[in-house]
Structure 1
């Protein structure tokens, strides 16, 4: 049976055709504005390529080795469980009235639309442990506040997404750092990760762009239309469905703090921090060896249990109301779960088709040429791979070992820059991909239509990616992180200032007395005729 499976994919395996299912799914999602059918079509195309006309083989590739296998994968099951528990936590905070109490507090202390966006960014930066945790927690906490100031759900989803993976990839104590260090064999993985942080231009410039966009009050592309439409919608602060209105701001802060502490505890527990004897590891080492899926499940379940005890002890909610939040949390996460399962299934069929082998061959074949431009080239390759497969961690696993093998003995400084380019490109591709689990989580956290989130975020992310590409060219030639980053900051801020100036000039010209008169003149002539 295994021999037949190998022969069935031999024609497409390791070729450009391995990327076609993902490319088709992405294009369909952007055209139809609908994610479910687009992803499913991609899975079907992958099944056709794998089976090469065999109907039983097609069914097996799509369902048995596709969806069923992905849903039953222990890591994926843990992530789905974590999603449900976070949904239940959000339902608890809403039902208790804690979310409404925080909204009332925000009404008094956050005075402006800019302040609400800055608070969202800062909270996203502070929750750097894990991108999944970041997306859902920041969304549930800040959504009532951003609704009050008529900030569109698309803008909230962008703020969440841009402070999820980009922050995790520059935080040494995060599940992402743990993943990256695991892919660097024969080297000090954590040491290389820390050295690569100053060269992670996409992550750093994304944070710069976030603050610049908010402080300069600049929006462009589809996001500008969404923000204009949001200004016409009344705030939703009074529309929360609350069974008990006894909750206070403390009843929101306490569960979130407990959730953070227990999730971190769960992560280091799976990494051996609490083990005895030779199995014991220090905090940083335990984080590096952690199983994020299991650790987040343990932490979220314990946090739910503690929150229920807290609410019951304070007589905020009764036990039956608390337990009602479990099915409510599951219902809230069903759209995200469906998209995640389909995205994982699509990744499964592209892995079977050898998409990773195809990309690895491209990078290996060009590693000896254009040495100083390799960071920029690797950055683009990583974007393409992460975008088409929807996985940044998978991109790390493919490209980082190749980079280490190619540059470790030739040019160690270029190796660090190239590793950072790989991480930055993977985050960028993951950031703009409709089939990325982090993008899906950000949509869920902001209660935003998924395809709308992708469309509005894409121009922002691509602008930062283009500037990051220039920075990697400068870094490859100069080996200077500071100089390259300064170039990037100037381009980001300068570009937004120019855009703002053009918008203001266009607005003044549109509403000038001369143009106002010109617009009225034809109407007068038509009236006379």
Structure 2
């Protein structure tokens, strides 16, 4: 009983300390300045031409530290970026930051992410203002009568929208928010249900953006013969331990078998009092005040047809969600204009306003790629892999690959970019040990899925929280216990597979 009382008091004291720090500019500037001075000093201890070694981990650790204190992902990431640049060259920090920003903005992957997020935000905004999302929610509400049924439906929808984790994170959360609010399910739990069926499911399906990207990457790095990348990817699916583990965990939670822990328990208690939306959270910015109502059947079709066009067009253009979103947006604009649900000006405004809503998530994701660039310059990935090299064996390689690469992806938030650096190291290592290549690829994809799932500033985490209506930190803190359960299951599975399959 005393421990139950002490915990809220401890949380209250911590909150007071954090508030006192953040509300006192002088103390905060002194604190932050001391840390930056420390990184500038460390740069003087580094010998040019030599690797940074343990120092390469410090910016990532600073990001986690600041995030825990401030609960603000963007500010935390920029603290790590500045620290990393100071470590690299404190005399060139302004131009270094400028060059880093230009390089990231000019990156083709970043341009793709910005356009996809913006297009998806605009499409969902049109669906919201046209009343289609509401019609879809009402259709589900007539058939789903329980809280557990709502959560299981959310997970099932997540599996059905398997083509891309961005599509999953935004579309499923948008269509389920009204229903989860009705059954007093917290937005944090909605974000968890959505995020757990995003990247973890996408890696298990060969018809997804993940599969296309990694199949090409495997061919480029000599893991298989040219043209055989997708075949190797499909062979690796049974060994993608974290994807399967995350799927099991989320259905156990949705079915009420696995209970609520930590921040999730607090969020669910708040939701049961009639507050599913966390305090201080602004609405997602989608203005539905001028929404026109249609018949339920027409409204449902107005939701399902754009979604079908989105998936079909993405598949047609070789799993390119950008082109799929572009085609679906044009289709929706014509469909709604023809039905006089919105005029042309309102449709264009919907697209632009939807893009504006996505600006903060886009900024966080772009900042995450800047962290990745800094970590690459510091040599963090090779350092982690080299540190584990003395412990490598054929049997332990899958588990060590999972642990090391999961740590790298978690620290950088870049589930795709990291493997451009790591694959040229890991693949030759696996070949030299005569390791099962499907098992190696399974361990790599498991690490990528876990890092994307657990990191508080990864793209899927940020988009899931944005779509669900909570902050990335609220989502990440409530999700991390379940992600760790999945990680432990995956690690044990890969250890067993290492001794039986490798």
Asked if TM exceeds 0.5, the reply is yes
Does 2:65 align with 1:27?
A: yes
Task: Tell me by how many angstroms 1:246 deviates.
Answer: 2.7
Equivalent residue in structure 1 for 2:195, among 153, 157, 161: 161
Are positions 1:198 and 2:257 aligned together? no
Give the counterpart of 2:325 among 300, 305, 310: 300
Q: Distance in 2 between matches of 1:16 and 1:438?
A: 29
Q: In the alignment, which of 377, 396, 399 is matched to residue 373 of structure 1?
A: 396
- Structure 2 distance, partners of 1:40, 1:226, is 28
Aligned equivalent of 1:18: 56
2:292 equivalent among 239, 245, 252: 245
- Select which of 107, 120, 125 maps to 2:154: 120
Q: Does 1:142 align with 2:165?
A: no
1:222 and 2:232 matched: no
Aligned to 2:414: 391
Does 2:133 match 1:99? Answer: yes
Aligned to 1:68: 102
Aligned-partner Cα distance in 2 for 1:77–1:423:
24
Q: What does residue 346 of structure 1 align with?
A: 371
**Which of residues 74, 78, 84 in structure 2 aligns to 1:46?**
84
Q: How many residues align structurally? A: 441
Would you say 1:257 and 2:308 are equivalent positions?
Answer: yes
- Distance across 2 between alignment mates of 1:9 and 1:35: 32
- Aligned pair 1:436/2:458, yes or no? yes
> SS of the counterpart of 2:416?
helix
What do residues 472-496 of structure 1 show as CA deviations (whole Å, max 9, x unaligned)?
A: 111112229xxxxxxxxxxxxxxxx
Per the alignment, residue 3 of structure 2 pairs with none
What do residues 248-284 of structure 1 show as CA deviations (whole Å, max 9, x unaligned)?
1111111111111222223x1xxxxxxxxxxxxxxxx
Distance 1:179 1:255 in 2: 25
TM-score by length of 1: 0.78
Distance 2:398 2:414 in 1: 20
Deviation at 1:409, TM superposition (A): 5.8
Structure 1, gaps ≥5 residues long? 1-6, 269-286, 288-294, 481-529
Counterparts of 2:260 and 2:377, CA distance in 1: 41
**Cα distance 1:309–1:454, how it changes in 2: closer, same or farther (>3 A)?**
same
Distance 1:204 1:353 in 2: 33
Shift in Å, 1:304: 0.9
**Pairwise CA RMSD:** 2.5
Distance 1:67 1:240 in 2: 32
In structure 2, the CA distance between the partners of 1:373 and 1:364, relative to structure 1 (3 Å rule), is: closer
How far apart in 2 are the matches of 1:407 and 1:354?
21
Which entry has the higher C-alpha Rg, 1 or 2? 1
Question: Shift of the alpha carbon at 1:412?
Answer: 4.4
The structural deviation recorded for 1:12 is 7.1
1:331 and 1:403 map into 2 onto residues whose CA distance is 40
**2:9 is matched with which residue?**
none
Q: Evaluate the alpha carbon distance shift between residue 426 and residue 16 of structure 1 in structure 2; reply closer, same or farther with a 3 A threshold.
A: farther
Gap regions ≥5 residues in structure 2: 1-44, 278-282
Residue aligning to 2:274 = 233
Please tell me whether residue 477 in structure 1 is matched to residue 499 in structure 2. Answer: yes
Report the CA distance between 1:426 and its aligned residue: 2.1
Question: Does the 8 A contact of 2:162 with 2:208 survive in 1?
Answer: yes
1:254 to 1:297, Cα distance in 2 relative to 1, 3 A: same
Q: Please report how far the alpha carbon of residue 83 of structure 1 lies from its aligned counterpart in structure 2 after TM superposition.
A: 1.0
Q: Does 1:463 align with 2:463?
A: no
Q: 1:234 Cα shift? A: 5.9
- Tell whether the 8 Å contact from 1:385 to 1:426 is kept in structure 2 after alignment: no
Q: Distance in 1 between matches of 2:487 and 2:94?
A: 39
Is contact 1:33–1:451 with CA below 8 Å preserved after alignment?
A: yes
Q: Secondary structure at the match of 1:377?
A: helix
Query: Which SS does the other structure have where 1:243 is aligned?
Result: coil
1:131 pairs with 159, 162, 165, which one?
165
